[in-house]
C-alpha cells in the first residue's frame, strides 16, 4: 500500500490483517511498515488456540479433589492412612498405585487400587496414580501419613481457586513445610548451567493468605491441578531417590506455593523387615540420579543447601 497522506495511511492500517501461509502451532513473524523516513516493525505471535479443559466441580469437596498415593510393602500403614482419611472425608476417592512384590487386595469403598509389576518405583507409581485422576485437583500424600483435624483440604482448594495461576500448593507434615527454591543460572550450549536447591528458600507471600509464600518446590503433601502436573510428569527412571526432581523438571512451568496453615500427620515408624531392605538406596542409585540430572537438564553443577 502506498499513500502520501498520513490520515489515509492510518485508515488503511486499521484494516490490515495478517494471515500465516504456513501452519505452525507456536511461532512468530515480523511485519515491516515504511512511511517516508520512518520504519515500524511489529512482532506477530502465531499460536494455535487450545481447547479449554473443564471439570465438573459438583456440589462438594469430593467432586473437586481425589487423594493419590503410592505404596510399596506397607499395607499396615496404608490401612491406617485410609482409616484416617475416612474419619474426615468418608466419600472422597483414594487412588493407590501399588508396586509391592506380593500384593494385597484393598477392598475399602471409594479406593481404587492399581497393581503394578513389583518394584517399578516411586515416580512410575506417581505417574500411574495421577493418570487415573478425573477431578480438577489431586491431593498427594505418602502411604504412612495420617489425616488429622488440621488436614483441611478445603483450605488448600480456597488458595488455588483464589489464585488461578497456581499449579501446586503444599502444606506441612507434622509442622515441617520443607519448601525450597531453585535458583538456576543458564550456561552455554557446551558446559550447561548451574542449579541450586536452596532449602527454606521462598519468595513473596500471597495476597490475602499471609501464611502462604511462593516457592519452587514443596513437601510430599500437596494439592495440585491435575492437568498442569500431568504435563510435567514424574521421571520413571527415578525409582527410589526422588522428590525434588519433579519440581526441577517443572521449573518455569509450574507455579508453586507453600502454606503453613494446613498440615497432615505422620504415623509412628514401625518395624518392617521386608520394607527395610529397600528403604535406603544404594550409593549407585544416588550416583545415577546425579548423572541423570547432569545429562537430562544439561547441568555442569548442582548445589544443595
* Residue 284 confidence (pLDDT) above 90: no
In degrees, rounded to 5, the angle at the alpha carbon of residue 177 between the alpha carbons of residues 258 and 183 is 60
Place of cell 532449602: 199
* Residue 36 confidence (pLDDT) above 80: no
In 3D space, the residue among 286, 56, 297, 90 whose CA is nearest the CA of residue 184 turns out to be 297
Bridge partner residues of 205 (DSSP) = 213
Asked if 151 and 88 count as a contact pair (C-beta separation under 8 A), the reply is yes
Higher per-residue confidence, 276 vs 250? 250
Residues constituting the chain = 305
The pTM of this model reads 0.88
Residue range 147-179, pLDDT digits in tens: 999 999 999 999 999 999 999 999 999 989 999
Q: Identify the band that residue 1 occupies on the pLDDT scale cut at 50, 70 and 90.
A: low
Lowest mean pLDDT among 64-68, 106-110, 163-167, 187-191: 187-191
Cell of 281: 538406596
Residue range 77-91, pLDDT digits in tens: 999 999 999 999 999
Q: What is the mean pLDDT of the chain?
A: 92
Residue range 195-222, pLDDT digits in tens: 999 999 999 999 999 999 999 999 999 9
N- to C-terminal Cα separation, the chain: 61
Cell of 197: 536447591
Amino acid at each position: 500500500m502506498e499513500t502520501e497522506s498520513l490520515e489515509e495511511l492510518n485508515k488503511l492500517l486499521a484494516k490490515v490483517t495478517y494471515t500465516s501461509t504456513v501452519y505452525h502451532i507456536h511461532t512468530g513473524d515480523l511485519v515491516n511498515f515504511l512511511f517516508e523516513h520512518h520504519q515500524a516493525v511489529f512482532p506477530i505471535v502465531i499460536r494455535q488456540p487450545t481447547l479449554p479443559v473443564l471439570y465438573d466441580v459438583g456440589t462438594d469437596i469430593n467432586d473437586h479433589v481425589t487423594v493419590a498415593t503410592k505404596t510399596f510393602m506397607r499395607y499396615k500403614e496404608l490401612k491406617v492412612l485410609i482409616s484416617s482419611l475416612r474419619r474426615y472425608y468418608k466419600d472422597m476417592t483414594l487412588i493407590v498405585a501399588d508396586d509391592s512384590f506380593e500384593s494385597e487386595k484393598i477392598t475399602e469403598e471409594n479406593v481404587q487400587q492399581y497393581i503394578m509389576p513389583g518394584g517399578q518405583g516411586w515416580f512410575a507409581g506417581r505417574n500411574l496414580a495421577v493418570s487415573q485422576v478425573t477431578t480438577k485437583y489431586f491431593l498427594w500424600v505418602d502411604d504412612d501419613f495420617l489425616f488429622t483435624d488440621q488436614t483441611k483440604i478445603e483450605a488448600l482448594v480456597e488458595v488455588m481457586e483464589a489464585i488461578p495461576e497456581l499449579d501446586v500448593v503444599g502444606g506441612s507434615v507434622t509442622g515441617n513445610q520443607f519448601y525450597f527454591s531453585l535458583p538456576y543460572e543458564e550456561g552455554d550450549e557446551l558446559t550447561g548451567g548451574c542449579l541450586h536447591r536452596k532449602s527454606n528458600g521462598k519468595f513473596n507471600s500471597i495476597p490475602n493468605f499471609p501464611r502462604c509464600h511462593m516457592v519452587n518446590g514443596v513437601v510430599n503433601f500437596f494439592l495440585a491441578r491435575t492437568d498442569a502436573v500431568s504435563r510435567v510428569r514424574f521421571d520413571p527412571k527415578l525409582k527410589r531417590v526422588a522428590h525434588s526432581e519433579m519440581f526441577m523438571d517443572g521449573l518455569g512451568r509450574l507455579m508453586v506455593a507453600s502454606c503453613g496453615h494446613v498440615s497432615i500427620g505422620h504415623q509412628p515408624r514401625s518395624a518392617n523387615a521386608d520394607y527395610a531392605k529397600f528403604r535406603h538406596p544404594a550409593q549407585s542409585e544416588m550416583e545415577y540420579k546425579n548423572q541423570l540430572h547432569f545429562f537430562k537438564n544439561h547441568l555442569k553443577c548442582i548445589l544443595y543447601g
